[in-house]
Structure 1
Amino acid sequence: MYLSVVKVQRHGGRGLATLIAASPVLQEVTLIDVVLIGDGPDEDWVIRASNLRKLTIALGSEYGGRMEDLPRLEECCLFGLNYAKYLTGMARVTKLTFYCNCMLSTEVDVLERLPFLFENLRSLILGVNFCMMSHILAIFCLLRSAPVLEELDVWNWSEGAQEMEANDVFLNAQWINHMFAKLHVVRMKKVYCLNNEMHFIEFILSKARVLRVLSLTLASDSLSSIEEAIIDITEYPRASPDAQVIFMGVEPESANNDMNGFLDLSAEFPDVEEEETSGLGSLDTVHPRRRQRSNGESVAQLQLLQEQLQELEKEKDQHHKPTVEELKEIIQEGKKNAIKFQNYFESTIQSLSKQLDLSQFRLPPLPEFPSELSSHPVTTRPGDTPVDPADNVAANVPEDSREGHATSGDADVHVRSPIDFVAKCVGNGCAESPEDQI
């Protein structure tokens, strides 16, 4: 069910809940800029959907209602005021998008009192204003409740003056043992390089023990340049030896006020594999200070890829050279074996000729073995008549040799020529003696 820019008449919240409950097979609900007429923050209505798998609520106004347990819910996006209460029915969600930057400060208490952990939550997308302490507290409530979190996306919407500096002392007080236990990818967009943002980046690098990639995209009006941010972040300690920091460049100025795609950040945060191979040209003039640590700055990664490409090309050349040499050796060995076979065949024919006294017969000459192997098939010229070698043999047999070989025995005795006998000897290993042939 998809509703966008729609007005639901009086008692809109209850009407909406009734509509959803009346569809037991409903799997996806999207509510964007829906006006619930007559519904206030204290209205009590319940959304029940036993088969619901994906839910998006972006109404923009403070409404009442709550969620009953949604046992099959996998993905949820909440954008609006007073929506933290809806999380109480989403214990099994695997992907959650929650915009702290539009929440009420009182909702932090709701998040702190969540009666469960998100045991299945592996992807968390947050919108945060790092100038607001309530927003920072809210994201840590969610992080503490997600013990198996693997991917964290943070879209910064920082504006105004910092209410309080979230320094190391404050951040360490938010830490618990299972936080970041499985976190291996962090993506941050529109980074202004405010103190609280930089403290948060340092905190993640120092605590995430299995972190592989932390990618950053600076806001167009960032307080620091990419070069300055690289120098600062390079000095941060890292709990994971495999952690890499990738700078994805600078957001365009239009992104500061552009709300398109704000509800779905998946398009804004591409996969890690794409990030590792895209946007590398934005830092061509930057030279990282710690290449030996593989700190992940774009220039270092580009140089590493170039070196790996050169090594692969060398390995390819070294791999093909022995193959060519082996083929040459095989060809030479084949020539030698063919010549040996030809000599053996000629000597065998000569030996048989002596044993059977075939000197009076003239055998056709054997074909000569070519000096070089050729892949071209033997062809005849147009107009040539193919000649059967057996006809040549018969033509070379003297006329008198074809007569006088009949015995004085029965008249139907079969007469064989010496050539037939030689052929049979070669084929059967001379199983018969010459006397047996007469």
Structure 2
Amino acid sequence: MKLSPARVLLAIVAIGLASVTTLSFAGFNGGGGGNRVGGVSIDPAGVVRAATVQENQEFINLLRASVPVAKGDLAQAAETRMISLKGIQAAIETARQGGGRLPADVRFLAGLTSIEYVYVDQQNQDIVIAGPAEPWKIGDDGSIVGTKTGAAVLRLEDLIVALRNVDNSRHGGISVSIEPTAEGRDRLQKLLRRVTLKPGQNPAVIENAMKQAFGPQQVKFNGIPTDSRYAATLVAADYEMKRLAMALEDSPVKELPSYLSMARNARHSSVSNPRWWIECAYDSLTRNEAGTAWKLSGQGVKTLTEDEVVNKSGQLESTGRNDQFAQKWADAMTANYVELAAKKPIFGELQNLMDLTVVATLIAQESLESKSGLQLTVFRDNDLLSPVSYDTPRTISPECSFIRGNAGWVVTASGGVSINPFQLITEQQVDAGLEQVASVGTADAWWWNK
């Protein structure tokens, strides 16, 4: 059997990046390592590889030694926990002046697992965010998750990066994509044209040659510092999505089998390939009439798909059409996202980035600093407070996964993650029943339960 470029599935390796870092104050290090994130190692050249079992265990041990458990009232879950941004800034200043690390409750935003409300507290010159919260623990993959639901906990570091990059994200939003090179696609096509398989022979016999021909795939970012934990999380979610779709890893959710299993024995196009990407997609953003309270509704994440082809110049080009099985898989991922995020926290981490980015954009677009009288100077001062820098992910080696359909062996997949909250902010609606912040903290507390 002669192979054509459209009869082999070359799937991008998916990597689950999960980490806990602290922040660096000017003049001293807050801890954390920038070259290893969860089960993944990134070298100074930007080459990403899976960490060894020993490396991963060493990382988990490091986290256990550096991340204290939640104590006191933080050891209890809350349906709605209020977080004062004014109070967090004061807590950061206190830690800096004391010469110590940021406390875990500050780094993990008092255990918030999502953001549902944003308030302007004019009386106390404050901006308050609120949502469900849990005590935290270290997950099996090194993620920091809630002890009750397993949901990923929000990070101060990601909020800081989101606030500092609102203007950057205006130009095309925040995004990452992992793309094969035109040269790699051309080499793969030439290889497959030369290969003849015997009847019934699996193309896995030429897997190594295919990987070598295809070569490393390129990681491309827009609107976000490429050496940030935020960027690493985007890359991880994109990779892990492909890993699940292409059956490179078993899905932990029964209702979300791989795309390959869904498409088994189906007829596939000889020229087009499925592409998946994850977008920011909330049900609504509403506010009260006074413009001092906002409510964010919906899970915030949606998986989309579209077929693409390689044009004459070797570049990928959208067709405007959807493969029915690729669409079915995308819909299943969206429908089961909450359960998936609880079992694979990297998707919860991505969900949290969506929340934090919407909040950062809302603060900028609605001039909440001016309305509240609170200037978020500490959050924006890189000389005072600097997130730990990671080696930028640049390339990833391909992995192969094979399935035979009615029309032969099936082809390649690509995709990405896109976060563009500006349309959501623009389309916000008034909810006359939305209340202003009902309670406030004390001089000694920057968080409280509603």
Class of the TM-score when normalised by the shorter of the 2 chains: under 0.3
Larger CA Rg, structure 1 vs 2: 1
* TM-score normalised by L of structure 2: 0.19
Give 1 or 2: higher strand fraction.
Answer: 2
